[in-house]
Structure 1
């Protein structure tokens, strides 16, 4: 693998890790990692917030709405 390609790969990896860390910080600030019981919506919103990364600080507020089928009585 040429040196130029390795360098580009390393920079890309660093950018992605920083992007995700910013997303984790945003999810933490929004309280997604609190002690509340994890629900489909809460976990989905946390994951989407982490993936959105820095876009959260530009006004993006991703939220997921889930409905899990309830067992019939």
Structure 2
């Protein structure tokens, strides 16, 4: 039962990734928070993308955190 569920989830995510690819979401090298969110929800929606669902993330907040810079 677990193996069947795992295969179903993987197939679901592959179909979602194919939908994101067909919408050219992976073509942009520089991605912001909203674009990454849109890719994530499109992949998570899986086959529902082919029923007319077109999930998008319009706005997202990035926390004000000082990210350390890599050493040179």
TM-score band, normalised by shorter chain: 0.7 to 0.9
Query: What displacement does 1:35 show?
Result: 2.7
Residue of structure 1 in register with 2:39 after alignment: 46
Which of 10, 31, 34 lines up with 2:24 in the alignment? 31
Instruction: Count residues with an aligned counterpart.
Output: 63
CA RMSD of aligned residues (A): 1.7
Residue of structure 2 in register with 1:4 after alignment: none
Question: Which secondary structure does the structure 2 equivalent of 1:34 belong to?
Answer: coil
The TM-score with structure 2 as length reference comes to 0.79
Query: Higher helix fraction: Structure 1 or Structure 2?
Result: 1
Query: What displacement does 1:68 show?
Result: 4.3
The TM-score with structure 1 as length reference comes to 0.78
Residue of structure 2 in register with 1:66 after alignment: 59
Gaps of 5+ in 2: 65-72
Query: In structure 2, how many angstroms separate the alpha carbons of the residues matched to 1:33 and 1:58?
Result: 21
Question: Which structure has the larger Rg?
Answer: 1
Gaps of 5+ in 1: 1-7
